[in-house]
Structure 1
Amino acid sequence: MRGFLLRRLFLALATLWLASSLVFAALLLLPGDPVQAILGLEASPAAREALERALGLDKPPWERYVDWLTRILRFDLGESIRYGKPVGELLGERLPLTLGLVLLGLGGALLLALPLALLALRFPLWDLALSGLMAFLQSVPTFFLGVVLLYALAVHLPLLPASGFPGFGEPCEALRHLLLPALTLALSRAAILFRMARGSLLEAMGQDYIRTARAKGVPEAWVLVKHALKPASLPLITLLGLEGGFLLTGAVVVEVVFALPGLGSLALTALEARDYPLLQGLVLVMAALIVLFNLLVDLLYGLLDPRVAYA
């Protein structure tokens, strides 16, 4: 088990290094001049040169890359051009909201998909209706779904707040403000989880141990929950790791729709201002979260199936 953990940790660190290198290379190709974005078109050459030296843009790319990696190893993400504050401080302020939104959306998607998949297998008449509903939800863009839910549950029926976030100092109020955007994310991803859960359960129901349980007179509902659910959950766990990454990117759109001060709105501001240090820090943190999601999935796989841990 220790060797399994070490291998997965090494792969996670290598993936994070590769992602950070690709981010740095991509930002070099990003159109636009950050110096011009800050100083404007009328800036003097002397002012431009001074700002380029301050931002390190006068150095060759390889030297800037080495400096950036060195700072990352010291947990220093630099200073934001737009806000004039340390990037780590800005990310620390916005990360809890986005992470809470993603976890609520992921948990909500799973709570919707798994019972509905069990219901579809237990009652075949519901299967066609639920499959059609999930196919429809999968085809609806996330931003459109958010706007519809915003009008239905915040404007037409004012059950939940329409926008804004009061902070985690008031947990109940914070949860109320996150419910509607989390529901948007949950509905947009529940369709994929439903299809995977339904397919895995169908495959599990054809195994010999299921036929043995039925032959012993075990009730069908208990066969589904007790004997088929655990083996069918392994592919679903793999998909959950991938969905964590999709929800992080989807949170960018949802935060804009519901005016939430998370990483999504921060990323749009950084992109408009050509704030390279902030953009690099944002993408690096998102990549780290995606790697963390997949690492947790690998570890959970090893706990649920001992054969994986010693592979």
Structure 2
Amino acid sequence: MAAYALRRLLLALGTLWLAGSLVFLALLLLPGDPVQAILGLEASPEARAALERALGLDRPPLPRYLDWLWGLLRLDLGESIRYGKPVGELLEERLPLTLALVGLGLSGALLLALPLALLALRSPPLDLLLSGLMAFLQSLPTFFLGVVLLYAFAVHLPLLPASGFPGWERPLEALRHLLLPAFTLALARAAILFRMARGSLLEVLSQDYIRTARAKGVPEGRVLLKHALKPASLPLVTLLGLEGGFLLTGAVVVEAVFALPGLGSLALTALEARDYPLLQGLVVAMAALIVLFNLAVDLLYGLLDPRIEYA
């Protein structure tokens, strides 16, 4: 397993290089420029030229790309044009909130989907009802779902804060501010996890050893929890690896709705300001998180099924 993890980490370095290179190319084609975003349309040519020299934007793309690549090898992502601070420092400030939001959202989606899938298999009418409800939730855009939940639980029933984040100095208050955004993410992804869990459980329940357990008089709840749940969890774990990436991108929308200072809101600010170093650093950071998340999921297979061997 150690050799497999090492190979995956080496492959991850190539993935990060490719992601950063593609976003560098995309930013060259993006209309607008940071000089105009900072100085406005009325700036003089002399002021524009001076700022371009200060930001290094007067140089050809290739030397700028090579400088960025050398900095990436040294874990130096450059300095933000918009904030005037190192990109790594900004990521370090915003990353904990986004990771907490994604972790809560993924945990909430799993805690919603798995019990509902087990419950659906116990009753055909309930199965039909839950399947229809989950299909409806899956069709709703995350932005719309967030606005509806915000109105319901922060405006109409003022149970939770509507927006903002107090900081990690008060953990309980910070958790209250994250509950509603995390619940938005959880509902948006629980429908997909429910369908996968239900389908996987139905497949496992058709196996011979399940019929044997039932023939021996094992209670249905014990059949589901002890004999069917663990084998059925492998496809679900695979889907969780994909959902981690979707939740990271979904956090951009949710953080905008609830005014949370995470990576998502930072990405929107960087895009508006044409902050090239910050945008590149954000893409590399998100790509690294997705790669590490998928690696953790791959290694989790061995814990769920000891028969799996890593080549």
- For the superposition of Structure 1 and Structure 2, which TM-score range results when normalised by the shorter chain? over 0.9
The separation in 1 between residues aligned to 2:163 and 2:2, in whole angstroms, is 46
> Secondary structure of the residue that 2:308 maps to in structure 1?
helix
Counterpart of 1:151 in structure 2 is 151
Q: Which amino acid aligns with 1:214?
A: R
Aligned twin of 1:130? 130
Equivalent position of 2:42 in the other structure: 42
Which residue matches 1:228?
228
Asked if 2 retains the 8 angstrom alpha-carbon contact of 1:12 and 1:295, the reply is: no
1:88-237 equivalence runs, <5 A: 88-237=88-237
* 2:242 counterpart of 1:242: yes
1:102 offset after TM fit, Å?
A: 0.6
The 3-state SS of whatever aligns with 1:43 is coil
Alignment identity in percent?
Answer: 85
Query: Which moved further from structure 2: 67-76 or 8-17?
Result: 8-17
1:21-69 per-position Cα deviation (integer Å, ceiling 9, x unaligned): 1111111111112222222233333333332222222222222111101
- Following superposition of structure 1 onto structure 2, how do residues 38-77 of structure 1 map, counting pairs within 5 Å? 38-77=38-77
Deviations 1:189-209 (A, max 9, x none): 000000000000001111122
Query: Deviation of residue 296 (structure 1)?
Result: 0.8
- TM-score normalised to the size of structure 1? 0.96
8 Å CA contact 2:94–2:262 kept in 1: the answer is yes
Task: Please give the per-residue CA displacement for 1:135-188, whole angstroms capped at 9, x wherever unaligned.
Answer: 010011111111111111111111111111101110110001100010000001
Greater mean deviation of Cα atoms: 206-215 or 151-160:
206-215
Q: What amino acid is the match of 2:261? A: P
**TM-score, length-normalised on structure 2?**
0.96
- What is residue 32 of structure 2 aligned with on the other side? 32
Q: 1:308 to 1:50 in 2, by over 3 A?
A: farther
2: CA distance between counterparts of 1:126 and 1:137?
16
State whether residues 253 and 264 of structure 1, in contact with CA within 8 Å, keep that contact through their aligned partners in structure 2.
yes
Letter of the structure 1 residue corresponding to residue 103 of structure 2: L
Distance, in Å, in 2 between the alignment partners of 1:309 and 1:171 is: 41
Structure 2 residue aligned with 1:265 = 265
Moved over 6 A (4+): none
**1:289-308 alignment runs, 5 A limit:** 289-308=289-308
Query: Residue type matched to 2:308 in 1?
Result: V
Distance (Å, rounded) in 2 between the aligned partners of 1:65 and 1:214? 64
Q: Quick check: 1:35–1:51 contact (8 Å CA) kept in 2? A: yes
SS in 1 for 2:302: helix
Q: Distance in 2 between matches of 1:193 and 1:127?
A: 15
Larger mean CA deviation between 7-16 and 118-127 belongs to 7-16
One-letter identity of the residue aligned with 1:104: L
**Which ranges in structure 2 are unaligned for 5 or more consecutive residues?**
none
